[in-house]
């Protein structure tokens, strides 16, 4: 157990030494990367919880929706499911179709024309787009961390190496003792950049995959909702207008 403890202590001392001899510019870049890392992890955690909650609520809502006899049953009971994308689409469709039914009450009570159904479809499409944007919000910050963190780290490394060579030129000698501390301190910014970018890349790809799945499920639900609305409210004579 003595050797691992010595190695751990040595690693801690190495890191402390490297940070101590790092240039002020490198320390600023490392501080920025630490902030990026905290921010990226918080975004990944919040988006993961949001998508997990959305999937769970979508399943529960779809089970209830399939069991109802009429399309507007849940809407008329004033049921609210916050954080459920499918319910938001359903609610938007129900509000639109209820308004269209009131407008056509005198002409064809309880029935809609093809033109009215097209308005309902567009309302559902808008709702799907809005919910997709809500789920997608925040992912651009992860994309910035993935693409920007390595370049910040590279900037710190290049700057540190440049400072090291300038110091070597001023000292007039290029031995290992003169160059090694500066080069090590310069390379630590690249390491910091990669430590930010790599987890952000995996998290971003995982979240994008789940976003695509949820978006496809939203589209499928909207299509199913439209079909049920057409069966229930579209007049038989409207299929072949003359």
pLDDT tens string 127-166: 999 999 988 888 888 898 888 999 988 888 888 887 777 7
Residues of 2-29 as b/e, b for ≥16 C-beta within 10 angstroms?
A: eeeeeeeeeeeeeeeebeeebbebbbeb
CB atoms within 10 A of CB 142: 23
The whole-number pLDDT of residue 202 equals 93
User: With pLDDT > 70 as the criterion, what percentage of the chain qualifies?
Assistant: 81
The whole-number pLDDT of residue 206 equals 93
Confidence bin at 4 (pLDDT 50/70/90) = very low
Beta bridge partners of 213: none
Main-chain phi, psi angles of 42, to 5 degrees: -65, -40
The whole-number pLDDT of residue 237 equals 47
What is the DSSP code (8-state) at residue 83? T
Mean pLDDT within 23-36: 84
Prediction pTM value? 0.77
The domain spans of the chain are 32-236
Does position 7 have pLDDT exceeding 50, yes or no?
no
Mean pLDDT within 216-225: 91
The whole-number pLDDT of residue 187 equals 82
The whole-number pLDDT of residue 18 equals 67
More confident of the two residues 197 and 78: 197
Does position 242 have pLDDT exceeding 60, yes or no?
no
Does position 65 have pLDDT exceeding 50, yes or no?
yes
The whole-number pLDDT of residue 6 equals 37
CB atoms within 10 A of CB 137: 12
Query: Chain-wide mean pLDDT for the chain?
Result: 81
**Residues 100-131: pLDDT tens digits?**
888 776 666 667 778 888 888 899 999 999 99
**Residues 88-102: pLDDT tens digits?**
999 998 888 888 888
Confidence bin at 52 (pLDDT 50/70/90) = very high
**Residues 166-219: pLDDT tens digits?**
767 776 666 666 666 677 777 888 888 999 999 999 999 999 999 999 999 999
Do the beta carbons of residue 98 and residue 72 sit within 8 Å?
yes
Do the beta carbons of residue 186 and residue 159 sit within 8 Å?
yes
Angle in degrees, CA 127, 140, 210, rounded to 5:
60
Do the beta carbons of residue 208 and residue 139 sit within 8 Å?
yes
The whole-number pLDDT of residue 24 equals 77
The whole-number pLDDT of residue 212 equals 93
């Amino acid at each position: 157990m003595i050797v691992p403890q010595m190695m751990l202590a040595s690693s801690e001392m190495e890191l402390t030494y490297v940070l101590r001899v790092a240039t002020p510019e490198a320390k600023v870049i490392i501080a920025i990367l630490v902030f990026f890392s905290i921010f990226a992890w918080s975004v990944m955690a919040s988006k993961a919880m949001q998508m997990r909650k959305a999937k769970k609520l979508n399943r529960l809502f779809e089970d209830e929706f399939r069991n109802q006899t009429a399309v507007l049953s849940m809407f008329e009971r004033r049921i609210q499911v916050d954080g459920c994308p499918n319910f938001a689409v359903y609610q938007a469709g129900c509000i639109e179709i209820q308004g269209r039914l009131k407008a056509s009450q005198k002409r064809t009570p309880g029935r809609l024309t093809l033109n009215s159904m097209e308005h309902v479809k567009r309302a559902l499409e808008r709702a799907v787009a809005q919910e997709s944007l809500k789920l997608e919000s925040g992912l651009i910050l992860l994309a910035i961390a993935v693409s920007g963190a390595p370049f910040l780290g590279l900037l710190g490394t290049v700057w540190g190496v440049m400072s090291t060579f300038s110091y070597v030129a001023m000292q007039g000698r290029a031995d290992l003792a003169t160059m090694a501390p500066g080069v090590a301190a310069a390379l630590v910014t690249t390491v910091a950049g990669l430590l930010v970018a790599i987890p952000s890349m995996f998290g971003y790809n995982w979240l994008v995959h789940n976003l695509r799945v949820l978006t496809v499920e939203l589209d499928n639900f909207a299509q199913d909702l439209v079909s049920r609305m057409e069966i229930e409210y579209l007049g038989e004579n409207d299929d072949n207008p003359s």
